[in-house]
A = this chain, B = another copy of it.
Amino acid sequence: MGTPVKVSLLGCGTVGGGVLRLLRENARYLESRVGAPLVVDKVLVRDADKPRVAECDRAWLTTDPEEIFRGESEVIVEVMGGEQPAFDLLHRALSERRGVVTANKLLLAKRGPALVDLAVANGVDLAFEASVGGGIPIVRTLREAFTSDWVERLVGIVNGTCNYVLTRMRREGKGFEEVLVDAQRLGYAEAEPSLDVDGHDASQKLVVLAMLAFGARVDAAAVPTSGIRAIDQTDHRFAERFGFTVKHLAVGRDHGERVELRVHPALVPSSSVLANVSGVLNAISVHGRALGPCLLSGRGAGDLPTAVSVVADLVDVARARREGAGGLSTRGVQLADRPLYPLAEVHSRFYLRFFVADRPGVLAVIAGALGEHGVSIEQMVQDGGGELAAPVDIVMITHRASWGGVMRALADVDARDFVTRPSKLLPIEDA
């Protein structure tokens, strides 16, 4: 066996604790895979007195980042989260030609390209399987399995909280708020749920996926993002009636120069695999030009699945270093600035829902507005109170149309006095 590979952790919360536990439990097997023992050098924490998992030797703990860099750790594992000081610490680690493993999607979405470029320039590894899809091996799949293929498109359910809430709403007929409160009680949603239910978490993950799938360096803040707060029981029921299921999706498509990225709820065919990915499970479907569709599904979050992904990365990076082959994982990676494809130019079928007073001539106005903007109707349902002038829902499935055309038609309709609430649009994705 070779000289031990020294490893330091930045952070020791639940994921970090899980990593230490897996390193202890699987020590012999991991040693045989790496060709050398993995030895923990230091663990950077904010509070050295806080209780830690039993596998955490208190002698490792330090609150001083300099201690990490004084040591000879060949691999730095970042499980602290947040943009700073994580960015500065990892930048320094890569500059000093240490390998890096991180689970930090926010950091990667905001500053990933800078870290990747630095890793490539210095010929060191930067591994981040755990940053997207928790226990789903999507990063290594995009990096390795698609080496000789071209990723045309990807569609993912990448936020477990959204998927859990939508699944329970559909199955139990309950409202968003009621399910969210229960999800918070059960630990499937945060006390401050905005990051998840408003789509920001999914948006960060999509930016990381786009970096891998399309080699794209994009403006993360500019990705069109919406969450699931506006979805109600009526949407679930209408979707079902048309043969669809409502899912919160992250969608990416390579248009050559420009790259299409968007995060929003959408309708997927109920018989598709994606529609049947339920509860907190995540799934990512990747369409390669040669490979065709390839779908990966599993636990998108959770301490143990995330820790397993971190340790798998750690083994890869440590093994390559021990072989003198550090930097293999970033070899040949080239990122390019890619402008975002405007949402208005995206073509899709749509689910449209209008809230109107039930008056003669209303449908003619709506149909006219849609026709004027090149949107034609495939199916329509009107459900209502029965009383004249009572508010009713008019729901339509359109043929393929441009997002911009649909939005203009909706704006025209919404300007009318018979409209009781702003109209709604959900794209239909063939998963």
4 tightest A-B CB contacts, nearest first: A323-B325, A32-B332, A294-B298, A137-B145
CB-based contact B293/A298 at 8 Å: yes
Q: Within 8 Å CB of A316, what residues of B?
A: 144
Consensus secondary structure, chain A interface: mixed
19 further interface pairs, Cβ-Cβ under 8 Å (given A147-B311, A148-B315, A292-B305): A29-B332, A33-B331, A137-B137, A137-B145, A144-B312, A144-B315, A145-B309, A148-B308, A273-B273, A273-B297, A276-B276, A290-B307, A291-B304, A291-B308, A293-B298, A293-B299, A297-B297, A320-B328, A324-B324
Least CB separation from A322: chain B residue: B325
- A56 located at the interface, meaning its Cβ lies under 8 Å from any Cβ of chain B in the complex: no
Q: Interface residues, chain A, CB within 8 Å of chain B?
A: 22-23, 26, 29-30, 32-35, 129, 135-137, 140-141, 144-149, 271-273, 275-278, 281, 283, 288, 290-299, 302, 304-305, 307-309, 311-312, 315-316, 319-320, 323-325, 328, 331-332, 334
Q: Within 8 Å CB of A146, what residues of B?
A: 308, 312
Query: Assuming A30-B147, A144-B316, A328-B320, is B311 touching A291 (CB within 8 A)?
Result: no
Least CB separation from A304: chain B residue: B290
Least CB separation from A273: chain B residue: B276
- The docked-state distance in angstroms from the alpha carbon of A129 to that of B290 is 16
Least CB separation from A297: chain B residue: B295
Q: Within 8 Å CB of A307, what residues of B?
A: 148, 290
Q: What is the minimal beta-carbon distance from A361 to any residue of chain B, in angstroms?
A: 43
Q: Within 8 Å CB of A140, what residues of B?
A: 137, 140-141, 144-145
- Which of A32, A324, A328 gathers the greatest number of chain B CB atoms within 10 Å? A328
- The docked-state distance in angstroms from the alpha carbon of A315 to that of B33 is 20
